[in-house]
Amino acid sequence: MKYINKSFLILLIFPFFSQAQSITRNEIDEATNTLVITTEPWNGTSPEKYQKSNKIFPYLKYLKTEKGRGLYFLSFIVKTDKDLGCLREKSGNVIIKFTDGESIALKQNSDTNCDFGHYEVSYYLVNKPQAKDPNWLEKMNKHYDMLSKKHIASIAIEGSDDVALFEFEDHEQDVIMLHTNLLNSEI
């Protein structure tokens, strides 16, 4: 009986640790003299080999500039059957809804991507109006703090033609918190 209970517990806990178990990069970029730290977007089957559609693989990137400013970016590898059109640089958005009902919108900072079915995209931790605010760095840090403490109910990736909505099961809702915890251990 103890064996069955332990096995069940491992199966119950495993989804929490299926992503963000390692750092893929932690080094100084010699060209810009910027510290770059990136979490791994998956553990196990890579998104390219993942057979199911409609799956999202989040990861975080942290940059520390020569001036000592720390910047956070939330990125995704998106597998979807939907034709989102293009995820457009500087005009694309992601909406993250937390389980407490609060939500944040983030502005795309990666290059335009029109790769149907398999998108890679990165977002500033601020939205378009906040990016123009003189206190944008404080807002970025507030959003990072929210991502590190709140459970995710859903993530909506907005493309030029459609929106891909990813709803999270109870056992998946802390996936971004796992990334923030891992990133915090390296900063």
Kind of pairing between the strands at 118-124 and 70-79: antiparallel
Backbone φ, ψ for residue 172 (5° rounding): -110, -10
Q: Write down the pLDDT at residue 124.
A: 93
For residue 26, give both structure tokens: 């932690």
Contact call for residues 16 and 171 (beta carbons, < 8 A): yes
Q: Write down the pLDDT at residue 12.
A: 35
Total of domains in the chain: 1
Backbone φ, ψ for residue 162 (5° rounding): -160, 175
- What is the value of pTM for the model shown? 0.82
> At residue 180, does pLDDT exceed 80?
yes
Could you give the CA distance from residue 159 to residue 94 in angstroms, rounded to a whole number?
Answer: 9
| Each residue's pLDDT tens digit, 48-87 | 655 557 888 899 999 998 888 899 999 999 988 889 999 9
Point out which residues pair with 75 in neighbouring strands: 59, 122
Structural domain of 83: 2-186
Q: Where are the beta strands (DSSP E) in the chain?
A: 23-29, 34-39, 55-64, 70-79, 93-98, 103-107, 118-124, 152-158, 163-167
> At residue 167, does pLDDT exceed 60?
yes
